Chain A
Amino acid sequence: MEVKTAFGADLMSDVLAFAQSGSLLLTGLTNPQVIRTADVLDISAIIIVRGKRPSPDTVQLAGDLGIPILVTRFILFETAGRLYQSGIRGCLVKVDGSVHSHG
């Protein structure tokens, strides 16, 4: 598997709005919903950050759907920085202002 882009978020609706298919997903979420979300978006693999462990039903579902889960003790910022340094880029650089105009 070759991956070129990534997205990181802990809010499922942000992942749904912005993550692109084929990307890595960096997240602190560990429940089965994160696997469902990855499946809907064709995410290539999930990296769970901050040393969190996926629950057994999350691992089970990931196995069923063929989505790899990686875990790291690095925080989200550190994980993203290290991946960026090794050539991975954001699945989008910035958002179109009209989509998320808070305030």
Chain B
Amino acid sequence: MADEPLIYENQFNVQGGNFSDAGKVASHIKAILKGFGIPSEAVRKTALVAYESEINIVSYARKGVIHLRLAPDQIVIETIDEGSGIADIELAMQEGYSTATDKIREMGFGAGMGLANIRNFSDIFHISSEPGKGTSLKMIIKWRP
């Protein structure tokens, strides 16, 4: 899988704390995948996991990068951020656990569902984090049945 040929590859920067732009990258990724004629179910799953990750970077990290790789049978979204990291990943993954501030809650986020959504909508999901440094996610969505 590592040396699978790529159809398309790109990366996008995300600025922590910039709530007015939060979601732009996910919209962009969605438009790119649609342009390649990827089936809508796979586009929707990818846009969703990219969006939840983007919101988390904006909400909880200083800055981050979202990588998009389109392969002949799957889409890979990888996010790497610099920030506080997550000390207890198992706890953070639990539905309903959230450290969201009032500002984040005002926007409708902070239900503690984002990481669970990401896991549920990905075919393969990896999370790793180093407290004090940052968090990385890898999501794979198969688009060829």
Chain A interface residues (CB < 8 Å from chain B) = 10-17, 21, 27, 29, 31-34, 36-37, 39-42, 57, 65, 99-102
Output the least CB separation between A64 and chain B (Å): 10
Output the least CB separation between A88 and chain B (Å): 21
* Interface locus among B72-80, B82-90, B102-110, B137-145: B102-110
**Other contacts beyond A10-B108, A32-B20, A36-B24: 9, CB < 8 A:** A11-B113, A12-B55, A16-B48, A16-B113, A33-B19, A34-B108, A37-B23, A37-B51, A101-B95
| B102-124 interface bits toward A, Cβ cutoff 8 Å, 1 = contact, 0 = none | 00001111011110010010000
Q: Which residues of B contact A32 (CB under 8 A)?
A: 20
Output the least CB separation between B27 and chain A (Å): 5
| Interchain CB contact (< 8 A) of B48 among A41, A65, A101, A102 | A41
Once bound together, how far apart are the Cα atoms of A99 and B108, in whole Å? 20
Once bound together, how far apart are the Cα atoms of A100 and B112, in whole Å? 12
| B23-46 interface bits toward A, Cβ cutoff 8 Å, 1 = contact, 0 = none | 110110010000000001000100
| Interchain CB contact (< 8 A) of A40 among B26, B96, B112, B120 | B26
Determine whether the beta carbon of B117 is less than 8 Å from that of A13.
Answer: yes
Once bound together, how far apart are the Cα atoms of A53 and B23, in whole Å? 21
Query: What is the size, in residues, of chain B's interface with A at 8 Å between Cβ atoms?
Result: 27
| Interface class of chain A by DSSP | helix
Q: Which residues of B contact A15 (CB under 8 A)?
A: 108
B23 closest partner in A (C-beta): A36
Q: Which residues of A contact B23 (CB under 8 A)?
A: 33, 36-37, 39-40
Determine whether the beta carbon of A102 is less than 8 Å from that of B111.
Answer: no
Q: List 14 A-B contacts (CB under 8 A).
A: A11-B111, A12-B107, A12-B109, A12-B111, A13-B112, A15-B108, A16-B48, A21-B44, A33-B22, A33-B109, A36-B23, A36-B51, A65-B27, A99-B120
Q: Which residues of B contact A39 (CB under 8 A)?
A: 23, 27, 30
Q: Which residues of B contact A40 (CB under 8 A)?
A: 23, 26-27, 30, 47-48, 51
Once bound together, how far apart are the Cα atoms of A65 and B28, in whole Å? 12
| Interchain CB contact (< 8 A) of B52 among A10, A13, A27 | A13
